[in-house]
Structures are given as structure tokens and as C-alpha cells.
Structure 1
Amino acid sequence: MKNNLITAIQSNWISLLISVVIIGILYLLARKRVGFGTRVLLALGLGLAAGIFFNTFKFDATSVGTIGTIYVNLVKMLVIPLVVVLVINSITSISNMGHLRKIGIKTISLFFITTGIAALIGLLVALAFDPGAGIEQAVPKNFKPRDIPTFSQVILDLVPTNPISDMAGGKVVPVLIFAIFVAIAMVHVGSKKPEIVQPVKQFVESFAQIMHQVTKYIIRLTPYGVYALIGTMAAKYGLETLAPLVKVILATYVALLIHFVVTFGGLISFVAKVNPFKFFRKAYPTIAVAFTTRSSYVTLPVNLEVITKRLGVSSRIASFVAPLGATMNMNGCGGVWPAVVAIFVARVYNVPLSISEYILIVVVSMISSIGVAGVPGPAAISTTVVLTALGLPVEGLGLVLAIDAVVDMGRTAVNATGTTVCSVLVANSEGEFDRDAFNKEEDDQLELNPV
């Protein structure tokens, strides 16, 4: 028994030493300014290779798993403060109540509706693909399965009672709803007495910037977290168990494609009443930049040019909807992805979900997408919110972080295109959509050099 213990300790040290070397390589690549997405994909490959090596030679990878757990805990640390400040900051960016009642309500309603549709599509596709089949994961020691509540209880649980207590208890949805009330009240009071609201608004804006920076610090650790999480999983289950992750990628892209073609194409065709093929062709620069940069903020300058110069939307509408959309409109990251991951995690951990919880997935995805969008790693944070609200193990997020870079290209393209669609719809309803300009065939092409 003593020899077995020594062997286990030695194998743990060997796996840790190998991991330190790999993490060192990833760090050097970061210092050499190798692209973030490239490093994440490399971490995925190295994690798979190392995990399979550990599994083949029966090395203990406990210490490697600790690294992954630290990363997951740091992501969980961000959730409450980040989503609260960003919900308030996003809504208060609307200048006055008149603007909010008119263009603001239309814009935010479209963001809500399209994100809800995206979450529903993601849910249905995930149920059809069953991407978690074939993976069995031990339930964490601190995870206690809860009784499936009735639908009325689900609704009651969404209503905040004591915001401070809800924050301390990690009850994300009631905190979000409280933040929405605060933000709307700030806009209302600010339209009459801006000097009263200004100090609070400045504090929120400053704190939002600080939280952006904290989030960047955590997101920079993603390649190391990806390596540790996928390496631990491969070490425990071997290569054959990781194959179902391909189904997660496939399910996500199928859901994104359905949302892209059916939802966006349908809204452009039947609401704005324009040719969807011409719309997508004209919106191609936005789609291409979003897909390659994986950043809604980086895509924003190009998207503004596309919306105003290629699609014929007035600058007044574009300057309001596009920046707000880069923050709040996350059909891919906040709609499709959390729904797919929730179904995946529930299946992996053998946690049954009821119709009420399926509805909760859609509702929480709609609400959480407002607060976590536009920051580094919004999909991971939004998914954490959904998993927390459902009472599912947040550790399950680690199982799909390794493929995040692969699906993030499609998610971001859908996010940015959704903002473009909403701009056309709002402009059309306000009489600020120039159909002649839209139908004009131009020879010039927008520069595809993102800022």
C-alpha cells in the first residue's frame, strides 16, 4: 500500500511537471503576442495530448485538475458584480425617458425577442442532438440535487426580495431584475434632475471599466484553464470519451445557422420587407469581421459603416442601436450557447430537467445576456448565470471551455448580424430606412480592417 501511495505521489508530480512545462510554453507564446484564439486552440490540443498520455500511463492528474478548478472559481467570482454593474450601465446609456420610450423600447424589445428565439432554438437543437450522451461525470461533492419546483415557484423565485441577501446567496436572476429596476429609475430621475443621478452614473461607469479590466485578467488565464480542464478530463476518461464534444460543436453551429437563416431572414423578409439575400450580401463585411475577430466591440466601427452606408439606415438610429447592440444583443453568446450547454451539463451530470426549467433556460438567457454581453468572455459568464439559476454544477462549464474558441466565431457573427438586423427593423418602424439606398447596387467595398 505504501508503494502504491509513493507511486501515486510520483505520478502526480510527473503530471504536474509536464503541465508546468506546457503552461510555460503557453505563457511564452502569449509574450510573443501569438493570437488568443490560436493559444486557446493550442491549449486544447496540448490538453488532449497530455490527458491521453496521463490516461495511457495511469498518471494521477489531480494537481492539474486543481488548476482548472481555480480558473472556474475565478469565473464564478465575476458573475454577481459584473452583471449588476453592466445591466445598470447598459440601460442608463439611453439618454432620456423620451428616447427610451420610443427607440429604446423598440430596440431592447427586439434584443429580448431575438435572444429568446435564439435560446429556444438552441434548446430544441440540443434536445434533438443530445450532445451529452456518452459522457458520465461524477457529481461534485458540494452539489446537492434540488427538488424540481412547480412553474409558479419558478416565477416566484425570479422576484427579488432582499437584493443584498440574493447577492450573497448567488441568486443571479433576482439580482438582475433588481438592477433593471434601478437602471430604469436612474433614467427616469435623470431626465428631470440629471445632477442627482450624475454621481451614481459616474460611479457605475467607473466601476464597469474596473470590472472590464478584472474580467480581462481572468480571461487571459483561459488558455491555461482550457489546458487543465481538458487535460484532466482526457486523463480520466481517455480520447473515446471526448468524442461527444464534437456533437456540442455541431449542435451549436446547427442552432446558430437556423437562427441566422430562419429568424434573421424571416424578420428582414416579413417585417422590414426587403430581399434577405441582398441584406446578407450587403451585411457581409460585418459578418466577416465578427467571425474572424470574435469581438462585437472590434466589429462595431465596420458595423456602423455597413448599417448607414450599405443598408440605408439613418445615422441617428445606427448610432443608438449599434453601440447598444454591441453591449446587449448577444443572440449567439447569450441565447444559443447557454441553452446548448445547459442541456449538455444536465445530461452529463444526470440531472433531470422539467418543462418549467426549459422555460427558465430561455427566460434566464434573455435576462442575463443584457448584463454580460460586450465584455471579454461573455458566453462563459452568461452560461455560468444560466447554470447557476438552474442549480446545475458550474464545473460542467469546464467540459466545454476547450471548444469555446471554435464556436465563438459563429456566435460572434450571429451577435453582430443580429444588431444589424435590429437596426434595419427599428429604422423601418421609425421611417428612417432609405429603401432606395438599400436597393442601390454599389461598386465600392468597405475596408475590412478592424480597429
Structure 2
Amino acid sequence: MSAPTAARRRLPAWATSFGTQIVIGLVAGVLIGLLARSMPKADDGNPNWLASTLTTVGSSYVALLTVAVIPLVFTAIVSSIANLRQVANAARLAVQTLLWFAITAFVAVVIGIAVGLVMHPGSNTTVDAGAAAAPKSSGSWWAFLTGLVPQNFLALGAKTTVTAGDVVGDKVTALTGTTSLSFNVLQLLVIAIAIGIAALKVGEKAEPFLKLNASLLAIVQKVLWWIIRIAPIGTAALIGKAVATYGWDAIGQLGWFTAAIYIGLALVFLVVYPILIRAHGLSVRRFFSGVWPATQLGFVSRSSIGTLPLTERVTERNLGVPRAYASFAVPLGATTKMDGCAAIYPAIAAIFVAQFYGLDLSLTDYLLIVVVSVIGSAATAGTTGATVMLTLTLSTLGLPLAGVGLLLAVEPIVDMGRTAVNVTGQALVPVIVAKREGILDEGLYNAPRNGDPFAEEDIEEDAEERAVAERSVGEKVPATV
């Protein structure tokens, strides 16, 4: 036994167990959030110093993860295509992935409709009709199709907000502005896939590029590992900010609607997912212990895109999905696989709006909800939150879009549960497809965690063996690590 290993094992369990550290972070975050909520606001009306600190630390942690998305997705997908060497097999895996996205979305939306019909969330509310307001943005199929076309090499977008200064006579002085950058993951997927296939077609001349790309991927993964290790701090800040900002009193008159959403989410998370896992001969306990780091971060961060680097890592290193496939399926899922935001939530929310306005939905309307939820989540690709998906559903049914404003009071609270289910489903489908295709590394799937966030900590120790496992995807041989 090496000296560092022996020294590590002499540390107390709480210092070495990632799971315990996450739980400690959650508990500490709740307590700090309650303390911040009890403190008075600053003199200028802004949140007090403790709430502001929680907000800054939490948003900074999500920003760190988001920064890793572009280099991780690009280098991982290019490397995956280079390792597969068989585009036909990649196409089969892609079809199976989309098929299971649709299957799980179908089950989720049916559950959402059933919960909405049983609980009548729109009838059991006293929310003020004056809260109704048209949303600032809405979803459309045309926006999805045009959004597939990359606008630049890294799918980046910029938005500048100009604020007017003082008015002197007929002139405005001291103009100020802020510019924010964003990116579209679906466009980034299109770019990376095109470049990866082009590199294969070029052949030997592209080998230096592919080697450089593999080196960049290893570097990005090492930096990502450092970011993941401070997840307990980010978790504490994010949950603390949520408690300090929202609190349970925000539920107010929408308590029955909130309960309906969480019951629907629980049925998918605790019933549907375990049934699918067991139906494929896998351990439910091992799945949830493996995906837990991503699930909990999705819950507190409310961002599938921000959680994407961690979701991809747990899918590959905890659940045994070969990197060559996981690096394609997980980013695709982060943009189009949303059982919470695109299936359960719009189904129950649409029923809520119809019941609130006293409108009857026909069987055709319910079938339209199913169709939009199964294939419509792609229309929200590259966006955040579920408002765009909800507006797409309401407009398809001919329901008032102003009904979206009725639900904004509890949006952050329900979004936490929605995102946790989204992230879990984004890891579940690659596991199912890999198992069905005979490429799932079940030894890694069932490997003991021993309190670590991943089955193996050092990504460099198994680099050569992992490359062999990736190439086995094209051969349908179970990967070994």
C-alpha cells in the first residue's frame, strides 16, 4: 500500500466520502439559507450580505461547470467519432437513443396527464387572475429548425442591453450597456459531429488534429475533476440561495399545483425509472448511487446544461457507458431529453390553465399534449427553463398564453424537481441503450463506490484501456476497464 493511500484511509469518513460531503453541504445550505432569510434586507432594499454571498458563490460554481461545456462537448464528440471508426454503428446508436428518449417521454407525459386529471390543480386554486401575463418568449417549430444552423464556429451568441443615462435637453448622455454571451449546445453538436466525420474522411492527414483533440479532452477532464471536487461548496451555496430567496411561503395559492408536479415527478423518478432499470437486468440501487452526484447538482442548480459535464462523467465512469457513446448521448439528452420540463410539467400546467379558465379539453387535446411532449422538447433546445415548452403546448391547444403568468410564483421551486428528473433521465437512456446493444461495462456499473463520486478517481491511469473500450463500441464487444 502506498503512503498516500494509507494516509488517506486514516482520515475520518466525512473527509473522504464525497456522498457524505454532499449531504453535509445540503444540510449546511438549508441552515445558512434559513439564517439569511431571517436577516433583514440591506438598507438599499437589496438582499442582505449573506444572501448575496450565497447567490454569488452558487452562480460562480454553475458558471465554472458551464465554462467546461463547450470544450468538453466538442473534444469528446470529435474524439468519439474518431474512435468509433464506424459511422453506421454510430447512426444505429443515435436512432436507439432517440427512440428511448421518445418512449420515456411518452410514459412521463401520460403520467402527467393522469395526475392532472386526478388532482384538478386548476380547480383547487385561488390564484388571482390578475397574475396572468403573456410570456416574453415562446416556443415554435420554425425556431427549432432555424436554430439547428450554426451561426459561428462555437455556436456562441451575444446579447447587449443598453441602459440610458441622464437626459440633458434633447440628448441622452452616459449610455451604459452590458453584453452577455450564450451558446447553443445543439448547434455545437452539429459542428462537432461534422468535424469528426470530416476528420475520418480526410484520413492520415487528420491524425495530428485528432491527437491534439485527444490531448485537449484529457486536459478538460482533469480541470473538470477539480471543479467537481468542490461540488459540496457549490451545493451548499445553491440550496442556501434557494431557501433564502424562495422559502415555502412562495407556494401560497399554488400549493396544490406544486404538489401535483412533484407527485408526477416522483412517479417517474421512483417508479418508471426503476422498472426500466430492472427490466434490463440491472441493479436499481447501483444506478441511483452512480447517478446521484448529477441528480443532486441538477436539483440545486436548476440547469441541465450546467450539470452536463457532471452528468456525462457519471454516465461514463459510474454507470459503465463507453465514452464514445456517452459523449454523444448525454449532450443530446441535455438539450432534447426533458421528462420533467417537457413532459410532466407542460401536461399538468396545460390542464391547470384549461381548468382555471373553465375550458374543457377533448380527447384530441390530450393526444396533442402527448405528441407535443414526445417530439416537441427539441423545440426548446438551447433554451433554459420550461416556459418555452409550455407556451408551445398551450399554443398548440389554443389555450391562453397569459396563463403562463399564473405559474411564475412557484417556477423556481418546481424547476428544482424538474431538472433533477431531467438529468437522471439523461443518464438513464444511454445506460438502457448500451445494455441493449451489449456494450455496457457491467463490471464498472456494479463497482463499489466506497464514498467516492466515481468508481475510479484518476482518469489518467486507465486512458489506454478506456481507448480500447471505446473502439469496442463499433464491434459490439462489452467494454472492459
Q: Which of the numbers 386, 393, 396 marks the counterpart of 2:403?
A: 396
C-alpha contact (below 8 Å) 1:172/1:389 kept by paired residues: no
The equivalences for 1:31-42 within 5 A come to 32=52, 35=55
Aligned pair 1:382/2:402, yes or no?
no
The structural deviation recorded for 1:369 is 1.1
Matches for 1:83-94 after TM superposition, within 5 Å: none
Counterpart in 2 of 1:256? 265
The one-character-per-residue Cα deviations of 1:121-159 (angstroms, maximum 9, x if unpaired) are 11110110001114477699999xxxxxxxxxxxxxxxx
Number of the residue aligned with 1:322: 330
Aligned to 1:122: 112
Q: Does 1:446 align with 2:453?
A: yes
Q: Which residue, 424, 438, 441 being the options, matches 2:431?
A: 424
The one of 306, 310, 313 equivalent to 2:318 is: 310
- The one-letter amino acid paired with 2:339 is N
Instruction: Give the C-alpha shift of residue 332 in structure 1.
Output: 0.4
- Supply the distance in 2 between the matched residues of 1:369 and 1:404 (Cα, whole angstroms): 18
CA distance in 2, matches of 1:213, 1:364: 31
| Equivalent residue letter for 1:118 | A
Answer yes or no: is 1:349 the counterpart of 2:349.
no
Question: How far off its partner does 1:402 sit?
Answer: 0.9
Task: Tell whether the 8 Å contact from 2:123 to 2:355 is kept in structure 1 after alignment.
Answer: yes
- Show structure 2 runs of 5+ residues with no match: 1-40, 60-76, 161-178, 184-245, 455-481
Secondary structure of 1:431's counterpart equals: coil
Structure 2: distance between partners of 1:139 and 1:352: 22
TM-score normalised by the chain length of structure 1: 0.58
Aligned to 2:418: 411
Gap change, CA 1:106 and 1:436, over 3 Å in 2? same
Q: 2:254 aligns with which of 242, 245, 251?
A: 245
Cα shift at 1:101: 3.0
Please state how far the C-alpha of 1:381 moved relative to its aligned partner. 1.2
| Count of aligned residue pairs for this structure pair | 306
Residue 277 (structure 1) shift: 2.1
In the other structure, the counterpart of 2:458 is none
Supply the distance in 2 between the matched residues of 1:276 and 1:202 (Cα, whole angstroms). 42
Return the alpha-carbon distance in structure 2 between the equivalents of residues 176 and 367 of structure 1.
Answer: 14
Given residue 123 of structure 1, which amino acid in structure 2 is its aligned partner?
Answer: I
- 2:103 equivalent to 1:113: yes
1:338 aligns with 2:346: yes
User: Going by fraction, where is helix more abundant, 1 or 2?
Assistant: 1
Counterpart-to-counterpart distance in 1, 2:452 and 2:270 = 24
**Sequence identity, in percent?**
33
With normalisation by structure 2, the TM-score equals: 0.55
> Distance between the aligned counterparts of 1:125 and 1:409, measured in 2?
19
Report the AA paired with residue 271 of structure 2.
Answer: V
Report the Cα distance in structure 2 between the residues aligned to 1:362 and 1:319, rounded to whole angstroms.
29
The CA deviation at 1:301 is 1.9
Query: SS at the partner of 2:298?
Result: helix
Q: CA deviation at 1:442?
A: 3.0
Any idea what SS the aligned residue of 2:45 has? Answer: helix
Q: Aligned residue for 1:293?
A: 301
What residue is the counterpart of 1:63 in the other structure?
none
The structure 2 residue matched to 1:172, chosen from 140, 149, 161, is 140
Q: What is the CA–CA distance in structure 1 between the aligned matches of 2:326 and 2:334, rounded to whole Å?
A: 12
Q: Could you tell me how far apart the structure 1 residues matched to 2:376 and 2:447 are?
A: 39
1:157 corresponding residue in structure 2: none
Unaligned runs of 5+ in 1: 1-20, 40-91, 144-169, 184-199, 217-229, 231-238
**2:121 is equivalent to residue 131 of structure 1:** yes
Quick one: distance in 2 between partners of 1:427 and 1:410?
26
**1:433 matched residue in structure 2:** 440
The DSSP-based 3-state class of the residue aligned with 1:446 is coil
Following TM superposition, by how much is the alpha carbon of 1:274 offset from its aligned partner in structure 2, in angstroms? Answer: 0.5
> Which amino acid letter does the alignment assign opposite residue 380 of structure 1?
T
Q: What is the CA–CA distance in structure 2 between the aligned matches of 1:284 and 1:171, rounded to whole Å?
A: 31
Alpha-carbon spacing, 1:141–1:386, altered in 2? closer, same or farther (3 Å):
closer
Alignment check: 8 A CA contact 1:107 1:321 kept: yes
- CA shift at 1:278, angstroms? 2.2
Cα distance in 2 between the residues matched to 1:267 and 1:340: 23
Counterpart Cα distance in 2 of 1:376 and 1:325: 14
Paired amino acid for 2:108: A
Structure 1 33/334 Cα, relative in aligned 2: closer, same or farther at 3 Å?
A: farther
- CA 1:140–1:289: 2 relative to 1, 3 Å: closer
Q: Does the CA contact (< 8 Å) of 1:215 and 1:375 recur in 2?
A: no
Of 285, 288, 295, which aligns to 1:280? 288
Query: Alpha carbons of 1:349 and 1:214: their partners in 2 closer, same or farther (altered >3 Å)?
Result: farther
The one-letter amino acid paired with 2:429 is C
Asked if the contact 2:124–2:256 (Cα under 8 Å) also holds between the matched residues in 1, the reply is: no
Structure 2 counterpart of 1:187? none
Q: Give, in angstroms, the shift of residue 206 of structure 1.
A: 4.1
Q: Could you tell me which of 355, 368, 374 is aligned with 1:366? A: 374
Give the partner amino acid of 1:248.
F
Aligned to 1:74: none
**Secondary structure in structure 1 of the residue aligned to 2:384:** coil
Q: How far apart are 1:202 and its partner, in Å?
A: 4.4
Contact 2:311/2:330 (<8 A) preserved: yes
Asked whether the 8 Å contact 1:176–1:367 carries over to 2, the reply is no
In 2, distance between residues paired with 1:176 and 1:106?
26
Give, in angstroms, the shift of residue 248 of structure 1: 0.7
State the Cα distance separating 1:245 from its structure 2 match: 0.9
Distance 1:112 1:208, change over 3 A: farther
Letter in 1 for 2:277: I
- What residue number does 2:45 align with? 25
1:108 partner amino acid: L
Partner secondary structure for residue 328 of structure 2: helix
RMSD: 4.0
The answer to which structure has the higher strand fraction is: 2
CA–CA separation in structure 2 for the residues paired with 1:140 and 1:293:
26
Cα distance in 2 between the residues matched to 1:205 and 1:30: 37
